[in-house]
Structure 1
Amino acid sequence: MRLAGKVVVVTGAGSGLGQALALELLRRGARVAAVDLRSEGLQETMAKAGSLGEGLSLHPLDITDKEKVAALPEEVERVHGQVDGLINNAGIIQPFKRLLDLDEAAMERVMRVNFWGTLHMTRAFLPRLLKRPEAHLVNVSSMGAFVPVPGQALYGASKAAVMLLTEALWAELQGTPVRVTLVLPGAMRTGIAEHSGVEAPRAEGAKVPVLEPEVAAKRLLDAVERDAFRVLLGRDAQTMDLLYRLSPALAARIVQRRMAHLLT
């Protein structure tokens, strides 16, 4: 789907990849409904948009609030007149702890934001998208959806659920105007730990290539414009995807050895 002239909803648009996506969409001639839990983050996005901000609307919202999410499509249509795309980008990580050391509240929060938030947003907007001549749904999962990371078991499970949900939607929506893209990022400089309220331990000795959100946003939107089914963001995601296909056990062992010290 060509993005110029389209209206796209982006969650998590107050920082990191979401903010970079909102700004890049505006540069490509799209209009953007920016959604984020933090009003201050949305205001920062507006400030960075500068003269392009005329095409940007701000929507402070908790995506785990099902009733408020259900009311959002009508709010966006009042502002922009239509909705052509949804990018479910908002997400959090869990505290870096083993599964048995996590409390119930932390586990439930990760699933509510990453999976249920994505699901609620999708169900709220999909009826509108189906009425458009062409539309696009993008769900941002994670490399952690297919490669297990010690200390992020619930995060990985939530993103694996998003991954399979997205693949199933791709199949269900064949023959409709809605195209679907699954995004699997690797390490990225997004500040996700800070916004998740989690202290990120230092990955000492690990040489992990970190992708800048601006670069990732361009690659992601290029994938949307060519209607790609699946896009891996970052050299680490691409490498681990190939390795996991060849030997899941070897891929899991490599990550375990590199990351095990985070739990000591």
Structure 2
Amino acid sequence: MKVLGKTIVVTGAGSGIGRELSIQLLRKNANVVGVDIHENALAETQKLAGVGNDRFKGFVLDISDKTKADALPDAVIKHFGVVDGIINNAGIIQKFIHVNDLNFEDISRVMNVNFYGTLFLTKAFLPHFLLRPEAHVVNISSMGGFIPFPGQTIYGAAKAAVKLLTEGLYAELKDTNVRVTVVHPGAIATNITENSGLGKPKIDPDKPQSKMALSAPKAAEIIIKGIENDKYRVLVGKDARILDILYRISPRMATNFIGKMMKKVAM
């Protein structure tokens, strides 16, 4: 789907990839519905984009709140008249500890934001997308959604659920006007660790302390290109592409390799 003239919802629009997606979509003359839990961050995104409310409308929303997620489409349509797509980008990681030490409150929070938040908004907007001449659902999974990272197992499980949800939606919608894309970012230079309430980053499957981390603007550019080319699957970053190949060749070898790398980073 070409983004020119389309109205697209971007979750997590207040920072990182979500902010860059919003800015680049606006530059391509799309209208953007920015969704974030932080009002000031949304205002900063709009300020950086240099557009008015006729092009960018921010909505403060906890995506894990189903009632509020269900109400969002009507508010968006009231403002813009139509809605043509969504990029479910918002997400958080877990504490850097093993499942045995992770409490269920933290597990529920990670699953609610990463998986249920994506599901709630997809379900809320899908009936409207089916009425449009063309529309697009883009769900951001993770490199951790297809290969395990010790200490981020629940995060990975949530992102793996997003992966299969998205692939299932593709199968169900392939004969409709709605295109579906799953995105697997590798190491991206964002502040996801701090946004997850975990303080300064230590180890992060989406932001390791490495010069290899891809910039958020470049990641957004790759994702938007994938949307406009109706890609089924988008791997963002060299690391994601390499690990995808390695995991296909030998899942056990790839898992052991990641385990060794995570231990080195933790030292």
Please tell me the TM-score bracket, short chain as reference: over 0.9
8 Å Cα contact 1:151/1:262 also seen in 2: no
Residue identity in the other structure for 2:221? K
1:158 corresponds to which residue?
158
Which deviates more from structure 2 when the two are superposed, residues 208-217 or residues 140-149?
A: 208-217
1:76 corresponds to which residue?
76
Q: Which runs of 4+ in 1 moved over 3 A?
A: 51-54, 205-208, 261-264
2:67 corresponds to which residue?
67
Residue identity in the other structure for 1:194? E
1:218 corresponds to which residue?
221
Q: State how far apart, in whole Å, the 2-side matches of 1:202 and 1:33 are.
A: 31
Q: Is 2:103 the counterpart of 1:100?
A: no
2:250 corresponds to which residue?
247
Q: State how far apart, in whole Å, the 2-side matches of 1:104 and 1:263 are.
A: 24
Q: Is 2:147 the counterpart of 1:147?
A: yes
Give the length in aligned residue pairs.
263
8 Å Cα contact 1:150/1:263 also seen in 2: no
2:87 match: secondary structure? strand
- Once the two structures are TM-superposed, the CA of residue 51 in structure 1 deviates from its matched residue by 3.8
Stretches of structure 1 that go unaligned for 5 or more consecutive residues are none
Q: Is 2:21 the counterpart of 1:21?
A: yes
Q: State how far apart, in whole Å, the 1-side matches of 2:115 and 2:35 are.
A: 17
Q: State how far apart, in whole Å, the 2-side matches of 1:202 and 1:136 are.
A: 33
8 Å Cα contact 1:149/1:256 also seen in 2: yes
Q: Please give the per-residue CA displacement for 1:162-185, whole angstroms capped at 9, x wherever unaligned.
A: 000000000000110000000000
1:138 match: secondary structure? strand
Q: Please give the per-residue CA displacement for 1:203-240, whole angstroms capped at 9, x wherever unaligned.
A: 8x975610111001111000100100000000100000
Q: Please give the per-residue CA displacement for 1:39-88, whole angstroms capped at 9, x wherever unaligned.
A: 11101101101146641001000001111110000000011000000110
- Once the two structures are TM-superposed, the CA of residue 250 in structure 1 deviates from its matched residue by 1.2
2:35 match: secondary structure? strand
Q: State how far apart, in whole Å, the 2-side matches of 1:213 and 1:18 are.
A: 9
Residue identity in the other structure for 1:215? K
The TM-score, its normalising length taken from structure 1, stands at 0.96
Decide whether aligned partners of structure 1 residues 136 and 102 sit closer, same or farther in structure 2, where only a CA change above 3 A counts: same
The TM-score, its normalising length taken from structure 2, stands at 0.95
8 Å Cα contact 1:111/1:154 also seen in 2: yes
Sequence identity, in percent? 49
- Once the two structures are TM-superposed, the CA of residue 201 in structure 1 deviates from its matched residue by 1.5
Residue identity in the other structure for 1:227? D
Give RMSD over aligned pairs.
1.6
